[in-house]
Structure 1
Amino acid sequence: MVEEEAYASREAWAHSIGLSQATHQELQTHRDHVYAHETYLQAYQTQLQLHSTLIQTQHQTELLALREPHRKARQPGPEARIPDHRDASGDADNHI
C-alpha cells in the first residue's frame, strides 16, 4: 500500500511539474503576444501622429495659399510712386 501511495505521489508530482511547465510556456506565449500587440500599437500611434502632422502641414499650406492672393492685392503695383521726403521739402519751398 505504501508503494502504491508513493507511486501515486510521484505520478501526481510529475503531472504537476508537467502542468507547471505547460502553464509557464502558455504564459510566455501570452507575454510574447502582448509584446507584439504593444509594438503594433506603438507603430500605429506613430503612424497616426505622422498623418496628423501631415494634415496640419497641408492645412497650413492651404491657408497660406488662400491668403497669398489677398496679400498680393494689398501690395502696391509697379506704377506706385514711393514719396520722397526730399521732394516734399523742395515742393514746399516752391510753393512759398
Structure 2
Amino acid sequence: MPAMHYTIRWPDDSEATCYSPSLVIQDFFEPGHDYPLDDFLRRIREATTIASDRVRAKYGFACSMAADQLATLEARAADFAATPGAPVRMVAFETTSA
C-alpha cells in the first residue's frame, strides 16, 4: 500500500512533516494552497479516517500511526484556536512505499 509524507506550514511559519498510510491526502489538499484552520482540521480528519480505514480493509486493523499523526496535528492546531481562520499551508507531498 503506498504511503506518503506531506509537509504543512502552520500560521506561525513553522513546518511539520506528517505521515499518511494512504495517498488519499492528495484528494483533499493541493500543494501551495492555504486552508483556514477549521477547514484544514475538517479535511485532515476526514482524509486520515479514510486512510486508516483503507489499512483496516487491507490488514484487518486500523493504522495507529495515522491516529497518532492526527492527534499531533489536532494538539498543534489548538495553539492557533484563538484565530480559527489562521492559514495552514500544504507545502508538499512525498510518496513512499509501505
Bigger Rg over Cα: 1
TM-score normalised over the length of structure 1? 0.25
Structure with the larger helix share:
1
TM-score normalised over the length of structure 2? 0.25
Which structure has the higher relative contact order (CA within 8 Å, separation 6+)? 2
Structure with the larger strand share:
2
